[in-house]
Structure 1
Amino acid sequence: MTDYARTATRRATHPRFFTLVDPHNRLPADERDRRAYYAMKAENARRNYRRWKGRQQRAEGQTHAAA
């Protein structure tokens, strides 16, 4: 399983990105938890993008196109 606290990116803690991602400010109190939370969101976003990309390519009848 991914160690989210260690995989969090610098961008995830940027204040501008902060409001963009989490408009309701539902945040864990601890800094490590906060980093883990954003790393988890980033991972989900990547997975959803790959999922969408695969669907799009299948719809166009192509497989394994360049990202």
Structure 2
Amino acid sequence: SRMKGDPRGFICPLCMKVYVTPTDLSEHYQNEHTGTEGRQELRDLPAVTVGVIYFVSIALVMGLL
């Protein structure tokens, strides 16, 4: 298991939960954030640069990678 504070992983852009694999993140997103409500939450997030991990996580969730 990952140690607390370990920056590696895939972070859900909506609830900020960390997942070890992109598949885990994708399954979580599909189960918890699908539909118009989740998409609106994603649009409402502030546009900030917080690191490559967020970009990769969002790109995987949106099917861009």
Q: Shorter-chain TM-score: which interval?
A: under 0.3
Larger Rg: 1
- Per residue, is there more helix in 1 or in 2? 1
